[in-house]
């Protein structure tokens, strides 16, 4: 799954019930980041 996020240009870290995404989320980029997360979830499910 980490590879799938890397293909979208995102790094993911999971600790307990917390998910950390990088690069840092800037308010005008949040829609694009969630679109990428959605594509990864669809690809791995």
pLDDT, tens digit, for every residue of 30-44? 888 889 889 988 998
pLDDT the model gives residue 33: 81
- pLDDT band at residue 24 under the 50/70/90 scheme: low
The answer to whether the beta carbons of residues 24 and 11 sit under 8 Å apart is no
Q: Higher model confidence: residue 39 or residue 13?
A: 39
Number of domains in the chain: 1
Nearest to 22 by CA among 38, 9, 3: 9
Rounded Cα distance between 40 and 45, Å, is 9
Q: pTM of this prediction?
A: 0.53
Q: For residue 34, what are the domain limits?
A: 2-44
Task: Work out the mean pLDDT of the chain and round it to a whole number.
Answer: 81
* Residue where the block lists tokens 């998910």: 19
**How big is the chain by its Cα radius of gyration, in Å?**
10
């Amino acid at each position: 799954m980490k590879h799938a996020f890397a293909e979208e240009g995102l790094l993911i870290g999971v600790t307990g019930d917390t998910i950390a995404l990088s690069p840092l989320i800037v308010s005008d980029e949040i829609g694009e980041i969630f679109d990428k997360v959605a594509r990864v979830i669809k690809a791995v499910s």
